[in-house]
């Protein structure tokens, strides 16, 4: 991670004893774990230069996915949700899975950034960061699966994934930060594509699959299932990042944020000097 110092002064967190006492006092005040009222305070924000620099600034998540917002929540950023409105009509056949998911994420990121710049007014500064992502499921024969289109399609999709035993989940992340020197094109765009192998439970019954489809949990998810919910009943195990399957690999995203925000020097100019 970057060794740059933050311009935002850090505040030392309370000692472990003080934090535990604070949590206990809140529990007692609220009538215990079953009481009503606000829950005890959770973990304190990460004291990192890049996050301190972004706090209080305009950070846009170019996605309407509540799962991605939830995954990003621990970073403590004030997220503005602005999904891209452009059609995702890139050719799966011409691009292939990796390029398809990457180009889609880039397109979302640039679309939302350009829209934010166009709509910026005095009371709303230009965004300091835009984060986008796209997730697809890829079968063992290379077929790209996105969201199911109907109940029949949904059942067929999950039965196919079960019968094939394993498949891959690809999530592309694109992070954009404006350049301080406004050098063309005026921003840094950092990207990554992460892969996770998902092994379905081959003993999952048709009855379970059909019952799961009727819950409608998976209607808005690539591949038609939610690993973080009841969809876990269909999955035997995964090999790779769990949050990548959910829709946003947090560790990778944080690294891209740091790179986009801090790596703004011009290597060619440095060499000439």
- Active-site residue numbers? 134
Please tell me the distance from the alpha carbon of residue 15 to that of residue 12, in angstroms, as a whole number.
9
Q: What angle do CA 95, 156, 202 make, to 5 degrees?
A: 100
Give the contacts of 70 (CB within 8 A, at least 6 positions apart).
none
H or E element at residue 189: strand 187-200
Q: Look up residue 25 and give its two tokens.
A: 């006092």
Which structure tokens are listed for 69? 């917002």
Q: Prior bond to 185 cis, omega within 30?
A: yes
Describe the crossing of helices 206-215 and 151-164 by its angle, rounded to 10 degrees.
140
């Amino acid at each position: 991670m970057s060794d740059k110092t933050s311009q935002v002064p850090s505040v030392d967190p309370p000692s472990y004893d003080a934090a535990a006492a604070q949590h206990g006092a809140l529990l007692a005040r609220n009538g215990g774990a079953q009481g009503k009222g606000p829950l005890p305070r959770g973990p304190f924000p990460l004291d990192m230069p890049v996050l301190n620099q972004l706090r209080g600034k305009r950070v846009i998540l170019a996605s309407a996915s509540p799962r991605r917002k939830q995954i990003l929540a621990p970073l403590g950023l004030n997220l503005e949700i602005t999904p891209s409105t452009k059609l995702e009509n890139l050719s799966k056949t011409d691009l292939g899975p990796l390029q398809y998911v990457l180009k889609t994420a880039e397109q979302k990121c640039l679309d939302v950034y350009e829209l934010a710049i166009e709509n910026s007014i005095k009371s709303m500064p230009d965004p300091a960061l835009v984060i986008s992502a796209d997730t697809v499921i890829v079968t063992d024969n290379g077929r790209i699966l996105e969201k199911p289109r109907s109940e029949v399609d949904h059942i067929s999709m999950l039965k196919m994934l079960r019968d094939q035993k394993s498949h891959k989940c690809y999530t592309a992340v694109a992070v954009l930060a404006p350049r301080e020197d406004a050098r063309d094109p005026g921003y840094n765009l950092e990207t990554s594509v992460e892969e996770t192998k998902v092994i379905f439970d081959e003993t999952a019954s048709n009855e379970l699959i059909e019952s799961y489809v009727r819950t409608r949990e998976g209607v808005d998810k690539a591949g038609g299932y939610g690993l973080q919910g009841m969809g876990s009943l269909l999955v035997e195990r995964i090999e790779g990042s769990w949050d990548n399957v959910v829709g946003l690999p947090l560790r990778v995203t944080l690294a891209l944020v740091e790179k986009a925000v801090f790596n703004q020097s011009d290597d060619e100019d440095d060499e000439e000097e």
